[in-house]
Amino acid sequence: MPDHHAPFIVAGGGIGGLAAALVLARDGHAVQVLEQADAFGEIGAGIQLGPNVFRLFTHLGLADAIRDVAYFPPNLVMRDVRSGELVVQTPVGAHTLAAYGQPYGVIYRVDLHHVLLDACRAQPAIALQVKSKLRSFTQDAAGVEVQLADGRRLRGRALIGADGLWSRVREQIVGDGKPRVSGHIAYRAVLPIADVPPPLFSPDVVLWGGEKTHLVHYPLRRGELFNLVAVFHSDRYEEGWNTFGDPDELHQRFAQAAEPVRALLAKIETWKMWVLCDREPVADWSRGRATLLGDAAHPMLQYLAQGACMAIEDAVTLGAALRATPHDVPAAFAAYCRARYLRTGRVQLTARFYGEIYHASGVMRELRNRLFQSGREAAGFIGTHWLYEGIDPDRALG
């Protein structure tokens, strides 16, 4: 017989894993979060938060904590990376509040992780465990057993794989091999706002787009930091998110960029890089008492800025599925997948498309500019109303 008091085991202590743990604990479940690193922490630079996820922050009781550390840009701006010409500018402050009832913000990934970690630490039902790398798992009708890299074995009611793009849990559930490499890599850096020369500063989220390259920058942490992410075509492939980049390669790729772009890139001496990868969408990422969440389930390219948002949506939907069938975990996990796979698959494929048009040249560039300047929709939201309208946390199963 299943032990309904055994913990849900969450593999991965990142944004998705902590969000899932928080949702489950708030519903009265015991949760054990396994983090492979020596401490709970996050790496990376800034991330964008659409109005779809702010609705869920309110649902989770995190809205005030997020607002305390987030930054709310006045506009989304796109410029041509070579000529510097303005492609489009759209206001996001009043517009998103009017259209969706929620704001559009940006946040330092570390700050979002801290908000979730603090909320989890305040929940007695959540056990946070470091130096616990999952190697494999087995399951039976009563629960799951997780085998860790150091030889330990843990027993739980079910397993949630929130272990990212290179998920070990996915290997056993989906088994689709290595991620799909996009051919682009991203360099990231964060500057104190005082180190940004005033002529180069913008309060907006600015994307300089062009053939095989783009640069994104915006303020972070209430405007105290300045985030830069430079993306360009490369055949380089290394797993992970925290590899040092090669400044010479970066400057070579942006040698023909507009002067403000080159000046901003010159302000950074040390870059961290990661390879942009995703996977083909799948309709089912659950097997019995094991399921996936976030990048482990549906890794996506960054061009739609929705990776963290989709992971939090996953967590809320998973909680709703378990409330609907609290004594049948496999059925709840299957319902969770059915509720999520089309929406997350659409985000994965739309992100690929946005990557193509951000890096467009020739006729595609002209068509992109005309589309963005059409005036028929707020330009920053062309084709994405379905996304930013989000999910109803009280009806997350549809």
Q: Which residues are catalytic?
A: 218
DSSP state string for 151-170: S-EEEESEEEE---TT-HHH
Of the candidates 145, 161, 136, the one whose C-alpha atom is nearest the C-alpha of residue 336 is: 161
Three-state SS string across 97-122, please? HHHHCCCCEEEEHHHHHHHHHHHHHC
* Vertex 349 angle, CA 346 and 355, to 5°: 135
* Residue 373 to residue 382: CA distance in whole angstroms: 10
Position of tokens 């015991």?
30
* Vertex 347 angle, CA 346 and 352, to 5°: 100
What SS3 state is found at 252?
helix
How many H-runs (helices) and E-runs (strands) does the chain carry? 12, 19
* Residue 231 to residue 226: CA distance in whole angstroms: 17
Beta strands in 12-74 (DSSP E): 31-34, 46-49
